[in-house]
């Protein structure tokens, strides 16, 4: 129920049928934040006593007799062992484990930007997504807000985008974040020297002490190599990415994505894996359009979390895969600045 678009209309339609003293309306759903369902759950939980019926099963009820019965995975006795938990985590992405099994309210509401399917985009990674020294390692950065982000990817011989790794660090000093990236290059990408850096040309960096030097300057000073960039709109970057995302190339789709993509380092030292997969699945969303708009004309929602990862990726994508940016509606021919940057990038 929580993921339906017409929740308010459905509730209004149901109410006349459940006005009697013996009537009940039973709704089932997994967590869906910022929805009518979420509001109902919060109302029922407000000023309510939690009644623990058994392990994994608890209930809250308010003065209006609204009740929320929560049934977690461990209500089943056979699903309480460490072995079962470890196996289930291996078989599912982090989002599924947190929301479907643990009943966490973690995601923003809205239409997902990408029509992601794990079988299509992540299962082939083991066969086709291996990092190769034959192709440059591309690294996109976004330093806005409190979550510096970096995404590591490659373009293979068939023109597919191999998404290997992504990181997001809460309130991390930007020099420390660059050091983290460098350590990943050394340890996970065999200290390869054939890598290229990308960022927002107009982006100001946010450091712990406030505004830092522009991202381009900061990256060039730390890595001692050129940083590639071009001005672009978020909606155009997304449309370019989706062109390749929806294509089939050889035996796989145009995007081949590490099933554990996205490591989030919180400031309390915890690490959560799979956050960019969570973004592909349902975390990275469009704002809802009004009656005169269509989703393809909208920018993705600036949620202050997932958008940093996809901005970082997008800054690199449009330069590594320039043909898709050139096909964007209204761009009849690449501007001279764009052609100059592409020529420089291909040296």
Q: pLDDT for 127-168, tens place per residue? A: 999 999 999 999 999 997 789 999 999 999 999 999 999 999
pTM reported for the whole predicted model: 0.67
What number of other Cβ atoms are within 10 A of residue 130's Cβ? 12
CB neighbourhood size of 282 (10 A): 22
Task: Look at phi and psi of residue 141 and say left if phi exceeds 0, alpha if psi is from -120 to 50, else beta.
Answer: beta
Distance in angstroms (rounded) separating the CA atoms of residues 153 and 137? 6
Q: What are phi and psi of 317, to 5 degrees?
A: -55, -45
Checking if the pLDDT of 117 tops 50, the result is yes
Q: b/e per residue, 208-231, with b = 16+ CB within 10 A? A: eeeebebbbebbbebbeeebbbbe
Quick one: which of 131, 142, 136 has its CA closest to 181?
142
Residue 165 near residue 184 (C-beta atoms within 8 A) = yes
Contacts of 73 (CB under 8 A, 6+ apart): 56, 79, 88, 101, 102
Q: Which two tokens stand for residue 29?
A: 């759903």
Q: Which of 1-5, 61-65, 167-171, 209-213 has the lowest mean pLDDT?
A: 209-213
CA distance 259 to 126: 9
Indicate the average pLDDT of the chain. Answer: 84
Residue 157 three-state SS: coil
Candidate from 60-69, 204-213, 221-230 with smallest mean pLDDT: 204-213
DSSP 65-112: --EEEEE-GGGSGGG-SHHHHHHHHHHS-HHHIIIIIT-------SEE
């Amino acid at each position: 129920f929580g993921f339906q678009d017409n929740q308010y209309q459905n509730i209004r339609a149901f109410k006349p049928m459940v006005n009697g003293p013996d009537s009940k309306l039973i709704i089932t759903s997994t967590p869906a934040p910022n929805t009518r369902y979420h509001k109902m759950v919060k109302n029922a939980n407000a000023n309510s006593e939690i009644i623990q019926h058994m392990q994994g099963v608890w209930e809250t009820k308010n003065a209006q007799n609204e009740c929320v019965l929560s049934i977690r995975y461990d209500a089943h006795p056979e699903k309480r062992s460490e072995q079962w938990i470890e196996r289930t985590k291996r078989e599912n992405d982090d989002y599924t484990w947190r929301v479907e099994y643990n009943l966490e309210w973690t995601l923003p509401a809205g239409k997902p930007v990408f029509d992601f399917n794990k079988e299509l985009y992540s299962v082939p990674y083991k066969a086709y997504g291996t990092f190769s020294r034959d192709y440059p390692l591309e690294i996109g950065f976004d330093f806005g807000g409190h979550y510096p982000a970096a995404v590591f990817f490659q373009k293979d011989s068939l023109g597919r985008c191999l998404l290997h790794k992504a990181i997001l660090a809460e309130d991390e000093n930007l020099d420390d974040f660059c050091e983290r990236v460098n350590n990943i290059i050394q340890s996970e990408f065999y200290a390869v020297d054939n890598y290229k850096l990308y960022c927002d040309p107009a982006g100001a960096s946010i450091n712990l002490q406030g505004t830092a030097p522009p991202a381009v300057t900061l990256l060039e000073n730390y890595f001692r190599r050129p940083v590639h960039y071009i001005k672009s709109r978020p909606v155009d970057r997304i449309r370019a990415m989706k062109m390749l995302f929806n294509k089939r190339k050889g035996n796989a789709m145009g995007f081949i994505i590490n099933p554990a993509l996205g490591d989030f380092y919180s400031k309390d030292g915890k690490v959560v894996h799979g956050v960019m997969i969570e973004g592909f699945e349902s975390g990275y969303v469009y704002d809802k359009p009004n009656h005169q708009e269509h989703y393809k004309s909208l920018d993705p929602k600036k949620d202050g979390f997932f958008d940093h990862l996809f901005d970082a990726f997008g800054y690199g994508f449009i330069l590594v895969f320039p043909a898709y940016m050139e096909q964007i509606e209204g761009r009849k021919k690449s501007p001279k600045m764009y052609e100059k940057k592409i020529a420089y990038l291909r040296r």
